[in-house]
Structure 1
Amino acid sequence: MALSAGWLLTALAGCGGGSDAPQRYPILGRVTLDGNPLESGEVLILPADGKGRPDAGTIKNGEFSFDCTEGSKRVEITSTKEIPPASPGGMPDYVTLIPKKYNSASTLTAEVKPSRNVSDNTFEFSLKSK
């Protein structure tokens, strides 16, 4: 969880306005895991060429929406589940629900268009746990 929270904070750092800030457009997405809406997680949208800042958002009940810069993107999706401690007073553990092929080794892509119409930038990601 600390890892996913870390990249989310990195993505959100420096999001203040400014005249030289790149234009951002609304996006909407749906994420399913094994056919069911992903209860919670994070989505990171990175420039496909590796240049520029990533955009990030939270997945809730299988959906996400936030503003993103235009262009070809590589998409990473993460989700973790807390495992209760084995003994009273112990620290909980976390298990990753999403395979690496959808996050650190992701081949998921999206093309964000320069449009204020969210229907132009709506994405569906159907993930498989195995």
Structure 2
Amino acid sequence: MKQLDSADRRALLLQLESMKRQVLDELRATAPSARAALVERNHEVKSHADEAEAERAADVYMAEVDRGRLEEIKHSIARLTSGRYGICEDCDSEIPRARLLAQPTATRCTACQATAEARRSH
């Protein structure tokens, strides 16, 4: 990608890695409160098996909450290391540098992203 130099790519990789750590930290931090809410919502846990199932359900729920965000970040890191980062997945044009710096997980140029969002809203 011509518009991103090696310093930009390094900075974006560091930003993406930081975003990834943040999502994982949020998952770890919210898991205990999700378990407590799930147990409280189900009233009283009757047995160890019920408690284990409640914990498993809370873990699954929390994993799903940020799974999409985490996958976007991982996908962007993979694209960055493979050389496809900054290329629109729909039209193969370059995604503007300013867009990538503002939204490091962007996989589409502004026009293709607007088209994709318009399709989703209909």
Per the normalisation by structure 1, the TM-score is 0.26
In terms of Rg, which structure is larger? 2
Q: Which has the higher strand share?
A: 1
TM-score (norm 2): 0.28
